Amino acid sequence: MTTATQRGLAPVREVADNGAVLIAKESPTTPAVTLHASLRAGTIVDPPGGAGTAHFLSRVLDRGTATRDVDQIAEELDGRGASLTTAVNRHALSLVCTCLVEDLAPILALLADIIEHPAFPEHEVETRRREIVTLIRQDEDNPAVMAPERLMAVLYGEAHPYGMRPKGSVDTVQRIDRVALQRFHAERVRPATLSLVMVGDVAPARAIDMANAAFGSWHAAAHAPTVLAPVPPAAERRVHVIPMMNKAQADIAYGFVSILRSDPAYDAYWMMNNILGQYSLGGRLGDSIRERQGMAYYVFSALDANVIPGPLMIRAGVSPANVDRTVASIDEELAKLAEEGPTDAELVESKQYLIGSMPRNLETNLGIAAFLQTVEFFGLGLDYDLRVPERLQGVTRDEIHEAARRTLVPSRATIVVAGPYAGGVR
């Protein structure tokens, strides 16, 4: 029997006449389809002075179109048991929806209407503004949000699109009006910025025909691509403390500017991050800070190599009394990995894990859809899932060691502590 793993995902990809990218993958496990629409209208293209515009758009886009009011949209979704999730990250505005296969055509039509013809009713804009202000105020009371947001601001600068708060501030959100949302939508939401991935119990050709029928009449010229300025790695160690004395636990965000997704060393960095702060219960960091010292319930590292060198971020939640010791332990583990590199056993284990986990990560429709969006965004190629094992097998111990030496330098780390901590970690 040929398994899916041996064949690979082999999705079907088509560029529509209007420039939209349509990708379909058949997966008959359940009689359902997951739609994952991604538009290149993330927070990095927020207009000057308009921090939070992309996020605001994501909250109001689906609240009325030229021909459907907010209640009609609600009925069309809820009546089919489908929930539409709109979200925004630095690069993409995404709309994700899982529906029963029998409802695919009407849901696609609804999705197209929402993306192409939002009406931004004045009342909805005001209601969602109150929601957003509440969300921002909740974030401001949450050390687990404050620490990483501040880390990004310090690593990239508060004016850099990577350094700005993704939801904006209460002030900037108060200034975003209906006209600003309409303008942002007209400029940034265009067919050439759309990639639509469809995964589920439907033949790819049929899914693509249905998507063409839904989006085919949409025409607008492509927008010039956004160019982001890269930021050099920090030259010195920086520490910021955000006192939040009403909290029980402190959150630590500790990070560096890392590499481009297209960097030839990416696979080595991927494995380095796995060994440092992912493998099993948080890699070497988990071994030290959770398992041996019992200081944290969670500690891990995350690598976000991107279209500019993105962050490598270590996160931990600890008792305020253990902040200093945790930071010292992170320093120690980084220095050790940079100095000695990984062990041969770690190299083997990490490869086995990352390669072996692919079928599991690609088991569900949503898992496949998210993977295919990443493949499309970075231009990795439709057979990327088949090439990953070979690429990882080729990574050497020296390459991982070099990645660690290049980036894991405690004397150039940026550290933010948010929580009931007033100490002087350095």
Partner 1 sequence: MHEEVLDNGLRVLVQEMHTAPLASVWCWYRVGSKDETTGLTGISHWVEHMNFKGTTNIPRDKVKGIIEQFGGYWNGYTWIDQTTYTETATREALDRMLFIESERMASCLYDPVDCESERTVIIAELQGGENDPDTLLDQELMAAAFRAHPYRHPTIGWLSDLQSMTREDLYGHYRRFYVPNNATLVIVGDVDTSDAMKDVVRHFGGIAPGDVGRRAHTKEPAQLGERRVTVSREGTTGYVKLGYHAPAVGDADFFPMLALDAVLTGAKGVNVWASFRTPPPQRSARLYRALVNTGLASSVMGNLVPTAEPFLYTISITVTQGTALARVEEAARAELERVGAHGITEPELLKARKQLVARLVFENDSITNVGHQLGYFETVASWRLCGRLRERIEDVTAEQVAAAAAARLKASSLTVGWYEPLPIGTGEPVSGQGASAGPVSPMGVR
Which of positions 327-366 make contact with partner 1 (CB under 8 A)? 349, 352-360, 363-366
Q: How far is the CB of 75 from partner 1 (least distance, A)?
A: 5
When asked if residue 282 is in the footprint of partner 1 (CB under 8 A), the reply is yes
Q: How far is the CB of 113 from partner 1 (least distance, A)?
A: 15
Binding part of the chain for partner 1, among 155-163, 221-229, 311-319, 373-381 by CB under 8 A, reads 311-319
Exposed e or buried b for every residue in 194-217, given b needs 16+ CB within 10 A?
Answer: bbbbbbbbbebeebbebbbebbee
When asked if residue 248 is in the footprint of partner 1 (CB under 8 A), the reply is yes
DSSP string, 170-190: HHHHHH--HHHHHHHHHHH--
Binding part of the chain for partner 1, among 185-193, 286-294, 331-339, 371-379 by CB under 8 A, reads 286-294
Q: Do 285 and 330 contact (CB within 8 A), yes or no? A: yes
Q: Do 417 and 250 contact (CB within 8 A), yes or no? A: yes
When asked if residue 246 is in the footprint of partner 1 (CB under 8 A), the reply is yes
Q: How far is the CB of 56 from partner 1 (least distance, A)?
A: 14
Q: Do 100 and 202 contact (CB within 8 A), yes or no? A: no
Q: Which is nearer to partner 1, 311 or 419 (CB)?
A: 419
**What residues numbered 110-149 form the site for partner 1, per CB under 8 A?**
126-127, 130-131, 133-135, 137-138, 140-144
The correct pick among 8, 19, 80, 405 for binding partner 1 (CB under 8 A) is 80
The correct pick among 295, 369, 395, 403 for binding partner 1 (CB under 8 A) is 295
In angstroms, the Cα distances linking 311 to 258, 277, 410 are 5, 14, 15
Exposed e or buried b for every residue in 46-73, given b needs 16+ CB within 10 A?
Answer: beeebbbbbbbbbbbbbbbbeebebeeb
When asked if residue 49 is in the footprint of partner 1 (CB under 8 A), the reply is no
When asked if residue 239 is in the footprint of partner 1 (CB under 8 A), the reply is no
For 261, residues 6+ apart whose C-beta sits below 8 A from its C-beta are 305, 306, 307, 310, 378
When asked if residue 299 is in the footprint of partner 1 (CB under 8 A), the reply is yes
When asked if residue 31 is in the footprint of partner 1 (CB under 8 A), the reply is yes
Q: How far is the CB of 201 from partner 1 (least distance, A)?
A: 10
Neighbours of 328 (CB within 10 A): 13
